[in-house]
Amino acid sequence: MSQFLQYTLQGLAAGGFYALAALGLAVIFGVLGVVNFSHGACYMLGAMASALLLKNLHLGFWPALVIVPVLMFVFGVVIERLFVQWLLKLDPLYNFLLTFGLTLFTVDLMKRLYGVSSQPYEVPAGLRGRLSLGSVDLSTYQLFAAGFSLLVCAAVWLVLTKTRVGMIVRASTEDAERSRALGINVARWVTPVFGFGIALAGLSGVLAAPYRAIDADMGSNFVIILFAIVVIGGLGSILGAVVAGFLVGLVEAYGQGYYGQISQVLIFVLMALVVLVRPSGLFGREESA
Amino acid sequence: MKRTQTLAVVATAVTGSLVLAACGGGGPASAGGKISDGKVVIGLLNDQSGVYKDLSGPNSKVAIQMAIDDYKAKYGSKAVAKDIEIVSADHQNKPDIANTKAQEMYDRDKADIILDVPTSSAALAVATQAKAKKKLFIDIGAGTTALTGKSCNKYTFHWAYDTYMLASGNGAATVQSGGKKWSIVYPDYAFGQDMTKSYSAAVERAGGTVQQKIATPFPNDNYATFITKAAASKPDVIGIMAAGGDLVNFIKQFNQSGIASTTKLAVGLMFITDIHNLGVDQFNGTTFTDAWYWNFDQQNRAWADKFMAKTKVRPSFAHAGNYSAALNYLEAVQAAGTDNSDAVVKQLEGKKINDMFLRNGEVRAADHNVVHDVYQVKVKSKDQVKEEWDLEQVIKTIPASEAYAPPSPDCTM
């Protein structure tokens, strides 16, 4: 029983992290209708940027937690202005291909610049060790990463539901035509939202740095799981991404605990089941299916 | 249709025999002796852009060039091979690419030998080509025992290490020093399965038990639950058989798990580049088998200094192995007076070698496994590290006779 609880706790911790990473993907799809395949590469860039800040400027985890998302926001804005905006009017496939190409380019560029081996990184001083909760325990860092992810998810949700900006963004997501007719400048929000989504990917990269191998390829497998999460949650649904993030975290943990090598397959079995019953995902709108 | 085919076969056979006659019966190919095409061509086929780039990759070309320089310096005008060229290619760790590149090297580039070839599946593909073309292949980078087992052939040699040796060294030594109960975590693909089989056998031979063998997906970046599961049977040692990025993922997460302070970690395959990149404090006294260590003695260090002057990094065992294989190949050409494959093989078979890389080494004639003393090493703690790359402490030298399996009955040349 205590082992089951331990798996559950680990699943929830992983889930919080997945939720944050999937959130950026969901926001970008929700507002721009862009399936951002480069999300995994941006996650990698976030982790690489943290490692480089440490190596070259001796800036550790805490400064990186602030600096990297800002850098990634700027990166996102530049990409949106330079490329993404021109393809928005066309079939979504064009932007999908663009972000796919961007991924190949970024990954190979990083390999060329920094090699293929993992970059060193440390767990920040205040977050080493473990916390016990009765019969189960978790590393302090994992607990922090999950809690921090949840806070960010909650903050994003609050901004979207309780503020005027959030209302405009949601209205543009729901019905861009009608929002425009009501005098809302939808286009004005497209660039910052894209930048924000990329910043979230970068932020999850920073959170991954002390816990995972930092190398150019780290995003390539990760992005596949993220896509499974947003499909399960419903493309573009914020709540869906968060709930599905936790669900996938749990499925993965139970899978690892009880079914070993097929733990990743189980994630896609879950996706297949959800799509079979609800083609638009758990929280997706029917028309987006 | 059938007739055309027959004609083609006959034509090929006739042309082939004419070419052979021309080679065999031709006059002196060059002033230096019977060297095909007037020069010796060494092909380096390895990973130049992926996960194994740092541990071997382009720097192995530097190592091979060092062997060529040393050979020329030693024999001067008496050298049989006067003109020696290196051609290199990236096989991207894919067997199909390795296969094509090996054909190109042997046929188009006129390579007399191919060296390195990490990734077992790629190495086996090249061994098949070597056999078909009757040209030499010395593998350094791959771990599979099949190269000297059921896939062995007259023209293929395995120089530095294999999965049996990795397991028997560290596995047995760890059991002897008190680590009796094991859990093994392995990625579920050929290398991981092979390593697990070898490690379990080595642990059990030494009197230990493997309580759990836990298969994981490959690649995988979240090991938290696997680690909990591995710790459930309260093992003395957890053995991890993953490599590259997966190994780093595992080590980071193992260090943050509750068992890192009470359970030893044994790593199946690790290179000095892995330790250098992650930093010693991530390893906490982890042990593994190393085929060679640059700072083991003065002889190794002197070579490593020369290597570092050219590359800015310390050599891994793969770099040193490439040097040793290239130099011994050239020595064999020198002794044979020709680069003819059969003559060179004859020189190499059964040869006892003591050089910078091989200690108490022997090129076993029965299976072409090049056996030598290997080392059980421990990653140094931070306060033991005196210079940038001085990261390993040799705990025990494992004699060649114990480190390697006896020749496999599956191998028929």
Which pLDDT does position B6 carry in this prediction? 44
C-alpha B35/C-alpha B166 separation (Å) is 38
Cβ contact B79:B334 at 8 Å:
yes
Whether A3 has its CB under 8 Å from any CB of chain B: the answer is yes
Q: What number of CA atoms fall less than 13 Å from residue B136's CA on the CB side? A: 33
Average pLDDT of the segment spanning A61-87: 96
Which pLDDT does position A286 carry in this prediction? 59
Candidate from A171-180, A277-286, B115-124, B193-202 with smallest mean pLDDT: A171-180
Confidence of residue A166 (pLDDT cuts 50, 70, 90): confident
Which pLDDT does position B189 carry in this prediction? 82
Whether B222 has its CB under 8 Å from any CB of chain A: the answer is yes
Residue A176 has pLDDT above 80, yes or no: no
Residue B4 has pLDDT above 80, yes or no: no
Confidence of residue A112 (pLDDT cuts 50, 70, 90): confident
The rounded radius of gyration (Å) of the Cα atoms in chain A is 19
List of chain A residues whose C-beta atoms are within 8 Å of the C-beta of residue B118: none
What phi and psi, each to the nearest 5 degrees, are found at residue B342?
-65, -35
Of B53, B62, B59, B127, the closest CA to residue B90 belongs to B53
C-alpha B144/C-alpha B147 separation (Å) is 6
DSSP H or E run through B158 = strand B156-158
Of A281, A243, A289, A249, the closest CA to residue A267 belongs to A249
Closest CB from A13, A139, A263 relative to B217: A263
Whether B384 has its CB under 8 Å from any CB of chain A: the answer is no
Non-local (6+) Cβ contacts of B83 within 8 A are: B30, B35, B38, B39, B40
Which pLDDT does position A211 carry in this prediction? 92
Candidate from A133-137, A202-206, B126-130 with smallest mean pLDDT: A133-137
Whether B228 has its CB under 8 Å from any CB of chain A: the answer is yes
User: Which tokens sit at B401?
Assistant: 């006779």
Work out the end-to-end distance of chain B between its first and last CA atoms, rounded to an integer number of angstroms. 36
Residue A96 has pLDDT above 90, yes or no: yes
Whether A213 has its CB under 8 Å from any CB of chain B: the answer is yes
What phi and psi, each to the nearest 5 degrees, are found at residue A132?
-100, 140
3-class secondary structure per residue, B96-125: HHHHHHHHHHHHCCCCCEEEECCCHHHHHH
C-alpha A204/C-alpha A150 separation (Å) is 12
Candidate from A182-186, A229-233, B5-9, B223-227 with smallest mean pLDDT: B5-9
pTM of the model: 0.84
CB A3 to CB B232 under 8 A? Answer: yes
Distance of CA A283 to the CA centre of its chain: 17
Closest CB from B221, B253, B257 relative to A218: B221
* pLDDT tens string B223-275: 999 999 999 899 999 999 998 788 989 999 998 887 888 899 999 999 998 89
User: Which tokens sit at A270?
Assistant: 């879950």
Of B68, B62, B9, the closest CA to residue B320 belongs to B62
Whether A221 has its CB under 8 Å from any CB of chain B: the answer is yes
User: Which tokens sit at A147?
Assistant: 């809690």
CB count in 10 Å sphere of residue B83: 13
Cβ contact B71:B81 at 8 Å:
yes
C-alpha A107/C-alpha A164 separation (Å) is 38
List of chain A residues whose C-beta atoms are within 8 Å of the C-beta of residue B214: 260
DSSP H or E run through B266 = strand B264-267
Which pLDDT does position A131 carry in this prediction? 85
For residue A119, give the DSSP letter: B
Closest CB from B51, B247, B253 relative to A211: B253
Cβ contact B157:B135 at 8 Å:
no
Whether A137 has its CB under 8 Å from any CB of chain B: the answer is yes
Residue B9 has pLDDT above 80, yes or no: no
Residue A289 has pLDDT above 50, yes or no: no
Which pLDDT does position B26 carry in this prediction? 38
CB A139 to CB B278 under 8 A? Answer: no
CB count in 10 Å sphere of residue A151: 12
Q: Residue B219: is the preceding peptide bond cis (ω within 30°)?
A: yes
Whether A262 has its CB under 8 Å from any CB of chain B: the answer is yes
* Beta-bridge partners for B209: B181
Q: Percentage of chain B surpassing pLDDT 70?
A: 92
Q: Percentage of chain B surpassing pLDDT 90?
A: 76
Which pLDDT does position B24 carry in this prediction? 39
Which pLDDT does position B33 carry in this prediction? 53
If DSSP codes are grouped into helix, strand and coil, which group holds residue B264?
strand
User: Which tokens sit at B234?
Assistant: 């309260």
Average pLDDT of the segment spanning A105-130: 89
Average pLDDT, chain B: 90
User: Mean pLDDT: which of A161-175, B121-135, B232-246 is highest?
Assistant: B121-135
Whether A8 has its CB under 8 Å from any CB of chain B: the answer is no
User: Which tokens sit at B344?
Assistant: 């060179």
List of chain B residues whose C-beta atoms are within 8 Å of the C-beta of residue A218: 221, 245
Query: Which of B119, B226, B256 is the best residue to mutate to test the A interface, defined by the most A CB atoms within 10 Å of its own CB?
Result: B256
User: Which tokens sit at A15?
Assistant: 């889930």
For residue B41, give the DSSP letter: E
Cβ contact B375:B398 at 8 Å:
yes
Torsion B203-B402-B395-A119 (CA) sign: negative
Cβ contact A30:A240 at 8 Å:
no
Average pLDDT of the segment spanning A230-243: 90
Question: What residue spans of B339-396 are helical by DSSP H?
Answer: 341-348
